[in-house]
Amino acid sequence: MITEISENLYRITLPMPFRLRHVHAYALACGRRLTLFDAGMLMPGAYEKLAADLASRGFAVADIADIYLTHTHADHCGLVEAIQEKSGARLHLTEIARQVHAHFEEGGRLVAKARAFYARHGMSGRDVAAVVEEIEDMKTRLPRLEVATLLRANEVRRAGNRTFEVIFTPGHAAGHVCFFFRDEGLLLAGDHILPYIPPSLSPNIDDEVFQPLSSYLESLTVIEKLPVDSIHPGHGNSFSGVRERIDEIRAHHALKKEALVTLVGRKGQTTFDICARLIGEAAAAWDDWEKFMALNETYVYLQQLKKDGRIRETLTSGVLYYSAA
């Protein structure tokens, strides 16, 4: 499906596995020249869908001259390589997003790091193997990226007769950005602010100093200060009322953090133990990917609670345990 959301700016809905089922890319036309924001997921039928949607408005993949990425998760950069092969499009993203992608490409080293990281957080060998499988699967969905320029915070870029600002919004991913068309009050939000679900948070296992939750909440404040009239996210419908949505997401995180702290008792437990208790019986209905995301999120809250001084972390025989401070 392709929808014109503003003059010559199109939303293109592309397929995706998992429960989200779809991801949006956005295409800005100036004459025949297209600027694409995000590039869908690499999966059967996705490229054809992009080509068919563009064709329905008189464009072709070969017209894509530039691609801007909000972040390098597989559902946002998947088709970059195929598009670049066809059109020679110039690719623009942040340095951190480029690094995160490069770490995935290195493969072996990332898997070894992931094994050590998740074992340290109390995962059994079998569960670590399942995580490694998820990472390996994700790797096969990542394209090779030929980068033209790196995005700097708050710089203004031009596409035809339109200009937009690059707003750094680390949190959902370390190198995440939104694109803000100030004249129209229009924000291409990537996965920073979604209409129905709070964006997932997960560790950057290559940079354990990165605090996803506090970075994310700071990035919400950055957006809150902008004169945004309409938000166009990576998943779900476009919406307005950004401040109300930001308040809802803040409340969600505050609630989840409080729910989690009540599960941390005097006796030390691992991130994995605490996550299992948090999910409870619902675990039976969850697939490995959902459990993996829940573990990541538990990690994120525990790290924040530790930083807030509300829980303690101790290392025993290579495994991290958390207890009430």
Nearer to Zn ion, 53 or 191 (CB): 191
For Zn ion, the binding residue among 53, 75, 206, 297 (CB under 5 A) is 75
Nearer to Zn ion, 175 or 234 (CB): 234
- In the complex, minimum distance from the CB of residue 75 to Zn ion, in angstroms, rounded to a whole number: 4
Q: Across the chain, where does the E strand assignment appear?
A: 2-6, 9-15, 22-30, 33-37, 64-68, 90-93, 147-150, 156-159, 162-168, 177-181, 186-190, 230-233, 311-316, 319-324
Task: Check residue 234 for interaction with Zn ion (CB under 5 A).
Answer: yes
Task: Single out the segment in contact with Zn ion by CB under 5 A; choices: 79-87, 99-107, 233-241, 291-299.
Answer: 233-241
- In the complex, minimum distance from the CB of residue 100 to Zn ion, in angstroms, rounded to a whole number: 14
Task: Check residue 38 for interaction with Zn ion (CB under 5 A).
Answer: no
Nearer to Zn ion, 20 or 217 (CB): 20
Task: Single out the segment in contact with Zn ion by CB under 5 A; choices: 67-75, 88-96, 216-224, 298-306.
Answer: 67-75
CB 80 within 8 A of CB 143: yes
Task: Single out the segment in contact with Zn ion by CB under 5 A; choices: 61-69, 135-143, 232-240, 276-284.
Answer: 232-240
Nearer to Zn ion, 17 or 265 (CB): 17
Task: Single out the segment in contact with Zn ion by CB under 5 A; choices: 8-16, 68-76, 115-123, 312-320.
Answer: 68-76
**By CB under 5 A, what part of segment 255-314 binds Zn ion?**
none
- Say how far apart CA 199 and CA 249 lie, in whole Å: 9
What is the pattern of x (binds Zn ion, CB under 5 A) and - over residues 171-190? --------------------
For Zn ion, the binding residue among 53, 63, 191, 206 (CB under 5 A) is 191
- Say how far apart CA 249 and CA 252 lie, in whole Å: 5
CA 320 vs CA 116, 117, 121, 304: distances in Å: 12, 10, 6, 15
Task: Single out the segment in contact with Zn ion by CB under 5 A; choices: 69-77, 128-136, 246-254, 267-275.
Answer: 69-77
**By C-alpha distance, which of 240, 171, 169 is closest to 199?**
171
Nearer to Zn ion, 53 or 75 (CB): 75
Instruction: Please give the angle made by the CA atoms of 94, 97 and 102, to the nearest 5 degrees.
Output: 125
* Neighbour tally for 22: CB within 10 Å: 15
**By C-alpha distance, which of 117, 131, 139 is closest to 292?**
131
Residue 124 phi/psi, 5° resolution? Answer: -75, 165
- Say how far apart CA 106 and CA 103 lie, in whole Å: 5
Task: Single out the segment in contact with Zn ion by CB under 5 A; choices: 75-83, 113-121, 126-134, 266-274.
Answer: 75-83
- In the complex, minimum distance from the CB of residue 14 to Zn ion, in angstroms, rounded to a whole number: 11
- In the complex, minimum distance from the CB of residue 130 to Zn ion, in angstroms, rounded to a whole number: 21
Residue ranges in 72-107 assigned as alpha helix (H): 74-77, 80-87, 95-106
- In the complex, minimum distance from the CB of residue 42 to Zn ion, in angstroms, rounded to a whole number: 13
Sequence-distant (≥ 6) Cβ neighbours of residue 160 within 8 angstroms? 8, 28, 29, 30, 31, 33, 35
Residues that bind Zn ion (CB under 5 A): 75, 191, 234
